[in-house]
């Protein structure tokens, strides 16, 4: 479907644009956003309600403002404790996929941080590229591991380097595997997240990696957030603590995506 000769945006695309606009302009009126997205006020209300529930903005009379604190400032220490036992088992399973001499990418997720802890204890030469400050610090304790930190801006309360500064270095390496987590995964939307800035660097990481391994505890499967960074067809493997429902599992198997269940 087209609106005024332009393709109609999907909900996830509209919500990404709203988030980007608010991050740049700090506030926006309903009229501005309707004009930007070429949607009706009713459609916009639905998008704003969703983004507000995600903690990404605050509704105001006649518009919205960027939220100064909330889910985008969701402290890493808090996320790290959520489903920690599942993250640990997923990290241990992921570490078995890493072999000496590889060049791998770890995103800045709390699950990837658990993986960095496991790898830091191994007698194995590796090159690890990451935008996670905590992961880089953990891995730097192992003299056999070369750590390359990329990114840009540090958010308040988060050990994540956001942006694409230094990302050009990715094309200089032969990267075997990217290990990444997400806010959610669905077959239709792939891996998605709520932070539009982190999404952009994750897209580049995936682009330059031969394999993409998703580290997903079962609470994230069947969930979609506002912006996709890896489509389902780009995935090589999913590591999770519980098999997806049979219908989804069948579709993943047909797409030749390996599903590893942690013990």
Whether residues 227 and 107 share a domain: the answer is yes
Whether residues 146 and 167 share a domain: the answer is yes
The CATH number of the domain holding residue 234 is: 3.40.50.1360
The model's pLDDT over 123-180, given as tens digits with 9 standing for 90+, comes to 999 999 999 999 999 999 999 999 999 977 776 666 777 777 778 889 999 999 999 9
Whether residues 145 and 193 share a domain: the answer is yes
Whether residues 61 and 174 share a domain: the answer is no
CB within 8 Å of 60: residues ≥ 6 apart = 27
The CATH number of the domain holding residue 36 is: 1.10.10.10
Whether residues 158 and 52 share a domain: the answer is no
Does 43 have pLDDT greater than 60? yes
Whether residues 156 and 29 share a domain: the answer is no
> Could you give the CA distance from residue 231 to residue 190 in angstroms, rounded to a whole number?
4
Per-residue pLDDT at 70: 41
Whether residues 42 and 146 share a domain: the answer is no
Last residue of a domain, one of 42, 68, 94: 68
Whether residues 87 and 208 share a domain: the answer is yes
Whether residues 17 and 107 share a domain: the answer is no
The model's pLDDT over 44-101, given as tens digits with 9 standing for 90+, comes to 998 898 888 767 788 888 899 876 544 444 455 555 556 688 999 999 999 999 999 9
* Parent domain of 12: 2-68
Lookup result for tokens 């993250």: 87
Whether residues 59 and 186 share a domain: the answer is no
Does 11 have pLDDT greater than 90? no
Q: What is the domain count for the chain?
A: 2
Last residue of a domain, one of 12, 44, 68: 68
CB within 8 Å of 157: residues ≥ 6 apart = 73, 74, 75, 76
**Closest listed residue to residue 147, CA positions, set 156, 157, 161:** 161
Whether residues 56 and 88 share a domain: the answer is no
Lowest mean pLDDT segment, chosen from 47-51, 145-149, 204-208, 209-213: 47-51
Whether residues 34 and 141 share a domain: the answer is no
């Amino acid at each position: 479907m087209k609106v005024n000769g332009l393709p109609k945006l999907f909900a996830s695309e509209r919500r990404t644009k709203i988030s980007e606009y608010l991050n740049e302009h700090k506030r926006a009126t309903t009229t501005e956003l309707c004009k930007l997205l070429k949607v009706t006020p009713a459609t916009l209300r639905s998008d704003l309600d969703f983004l507000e529930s995600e903690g990404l903005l605050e509704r105001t009379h006649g518009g919205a403002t960027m939220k100064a604190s909330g889910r985008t400032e969701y402290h890493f220490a808090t996320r790290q404790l959520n489903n920690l036992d599942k993250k640990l088992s997923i990290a241990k399973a992921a570490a078995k996929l890493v072999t000496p001499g590889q060049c791998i990418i770890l995103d800045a997720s709390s699950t990837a941080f658990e993986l960095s802890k496991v790898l830091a204890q191994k007698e194995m030469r590796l090159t690890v590229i990451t935008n996670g400050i905590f992961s880089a610090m953990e891995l730097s304790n192992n003299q056999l591991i070369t750590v390359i930190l990329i990114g840009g801006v540090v958010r308040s309360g988060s050990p994540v380097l956001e942006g694409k500064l230094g990302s050009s270095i990715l094309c200089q390496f032969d990267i075997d595997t990217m290990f990444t987590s997400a806010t959610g995964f669905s077959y239709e939307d792939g891996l998605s997240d709520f932070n539009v800035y982190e999404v952009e660097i994750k897209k580049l990481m995936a682009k330059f990696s031969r394999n993409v391994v998703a580290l997903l505890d079962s609470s994230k499967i069947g969930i979609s957030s506002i912006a996709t960074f890896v489509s389902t067809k780009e995935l090589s493997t999913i590591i999770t603590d519980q098999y997806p429902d049979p219908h989804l599992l069948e579709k993943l198997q047909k797409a030749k995506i390996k599903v590893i269940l942690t013990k």
